[in-house]
Amino acid sequence: MAEDILKVEHLNKFYGDWQALHDINFSVKKGEVVALLGPSGSGKSTLIRTLNGLEPYKSGTIYFHGKAIEPSHKSWLAIRQKIGMVFQSYDLFPNLTVLQNIMLAPTKVQKRNPDDVKKEALALLKRVELADHADSYPRELSGGQKQRIAIVRSLAMHPELMLFDEVTASLDPEMVRGVLEIIKRLSDEEDMTMIIVSHEMNFVEQIADRVLFLENGKILEQTPGKQFFKQPQTQRAADFLNSMDF
């Protein structure tokens, strides 16, 4: 049995007086792909951000490799080096080249050898078919290319877990597939552990080992991916799937 990389117990989060996440419980095993699905406003982004230490929470415990993460800024800074996150806006540094963007955190934060990091960055760029753009600036790239760079930048930190929040939502349709293919390959070829939010239902159906279906900040069901799309356990999830029209 693979070990749990991440485990969340009784997590409750508030924005002011209003409760955004209610008693969230789940775990993610090494190599597993977990998809968060649910209507707009159900708390998917809030949960993903909480798992990366970007949102304070009122109660509950988040474990990484079985160890409870102290809810302090300092402990999250360390954990964040092991949990990569890519979201809708790529926010690359506009004044740095692609290669400089990718090398920044591994050399400055992780203090790794620049020559090694550069070699690895160039290999990663080749894998996402952007080797020719190492010296380009973000403004010279398309949205899809920028998003592929954002993924590479995250991978250059050697994360053990990747969080993806609607990474294709702001892309033109013809750019979507290239980005999704990279994520699929990460799972198939590298056995990367991932938590994914996406509205690309065909993609989620292909890739998700398990689906967590959320509504109003609660997990209504946790179902193996293939089963979820054929026969979800709740009427609410069935209605959601019908409304997605895919």
Ligand X SMILES: Nc1ncnc2c1ncn2[C@@H]1O[C@H](COP(=O)(O)OP(=O)(O)OP(=O)(O)O)[C@@H](O)[C@H]1O
Query: Which one of 38-46, 127-135, 218-226, 232-240 is the stretch in contact with ligand X (CB under 6 A)?
Result: 38-46
**Cβ-closest residue to Mg ion?**
45
Q: The sheet that has 67-68: what strands, in order across it?
A: 18-29, 4-15, 59-64, 67-68
Please report whether residue 223 would count as binding Mg ion according to CB under 5 A: no
Angle at 180 between CA 145 and CA 120, to 5 degrees: 60
Are the C-beta atoms of residues 69 and 76 closer than 8 Å to each other? yes
Please report whether residue 235 would count as binding ligand X according to CB under 6 A: no
Closer to ligand X by Cβ: residue 6 or 117: 6
Please report whether residue 43 would count as binding ligand X according to CB under 6 A: yes
**With CB cut-offs between 5 and 8 Å by kind, which of ligand X, Mg ion, none does residue 187 bind?**
none
**Residues sharing a CB contact under 8 Å with residue 18, sequence separation 6 or more, in sequence order:** none
Query: Which one of 41-49, 110-118, 123-131, 215-223 is the stretch in contact with Mg ion (CB under 5 A)?
Result: 41-49
Please report whether residue 168 would count as binding ligand X according to CB under 6 A: no
Residue type, 233: Q
The DSSP code for 70 is P
* Residue reference for tokens 């190599």: 31
Please report whether residue 45 would count as binding ligand X according to CB under 6 A: yes
Q: In the bound complex, what is the minimum distance in angstroms from residue 87's beta carbon to Mg ion?
A: 9
Phi, psi of 199 (to 5 degrees): -95, 0
Largest CA distance in the chain: 55
Closer to ligand X by Cβ: residue 20 or 151: 20
Phi, psi of 152 (to 5 degrees): -60, -40
Query: Which one of 1-9, 37-45, 123-131, 228-236 is the stretch in contact with ligand X (CB under 6 A)?
Result: 37-45
Please report whether residue 45 would count as binding Mg ion according to CB under 5 A: yes
Q: The sheet that has 193-197: what strands, in order across it?
A: 83-87, 161-165, 193-197, 33-37, 210-215, 218-224
Query: Which one of 26-34, 40-48, 117-125, 232-240 is the stretch in contact with ligand X (CB under 6 A)?
Result: 40-48
Please pick, from the candidates 8, 20, 130, 180, the single residue that binds ligand X as defined by CB under 6 A: 20
Tell me which residues touch ligand X (CB under 6 A): 15, 20, 38, 40-46
Which residue ranges make up the site for Mg ion (CB under 5 A)?
Answer: 44-45
